[in-house]
Structure formats: structure tokens, C-alpha cells
Amino acid sequence: MKYLLIPFIIMLAGCETPVPVKQRFPEAAPVMLEPAPKLVPLPAGTAELDQLISNTAENYGRYHELVRRYELWQQWYTEQKKNFESAY
């Protein structure tokens, strides 16, 4: 009888040992870590309307790309934070 209790006690003691849990916040998407594209300044002395419109359209597109990245970043961050906090 004594020999039957020893493995049982050892098994219970093994279950009680704490295992450290390392919390790790998820990594950001690679596109979110890319540097923002620079806006293209209009060269000094440019008086032609087609160059002005072309430059404005290019910068407008870059601006909206940055806005979309920012919105995606906010969405990703709030979802990951909610998941991270609900796990613990």
C-alpha cells in the first residue's frame, strides 16, 4: 500500500510546480513599419498648370495612402490590445 502512494504523491507534486508564462504582445504587420512616403514638393518657379495639377494629384494619393495606413494601424492595435487583455 505504501508503494502505491509514492507515485501518486510524486505525480501530484509534479503538477504543482509553477511554469512561468511569458506574455508577448503580437508583432505589427510589416506594412505598418514601413516609413511614410515623402510628399513631393513643387519645384520653385513652376508656373505651368499641368505640373501643378500633376504634383497635387500625386501628393493627394500619398496622403490618402497614409490615412489608410493610419486607420489600419488603429484597427490592428485595438484588436490586438483587446485580445491581449482578454487572455489575462
* Dist. CA 60–CA 19, nearest whole Å: 53
End-to-end CA distance of the chain: 42
> According to the model, what pLDDT value does residue 19 have?
66
Q: Which sequence spans correspond to the domains of the chain?
A: 46-88
> According to the model, what pLDDT value does residue 57 have?
93
> According to the model, what pLDDT value does residue 78 have?
86
Tens-digit pLDDT profile for residues 25-69: 777 778 777 777 788 888 888 888 888 899 899 999 988 988 888
Q: Is the confidence at residue 18, as pLDDT, over 80?
A: no
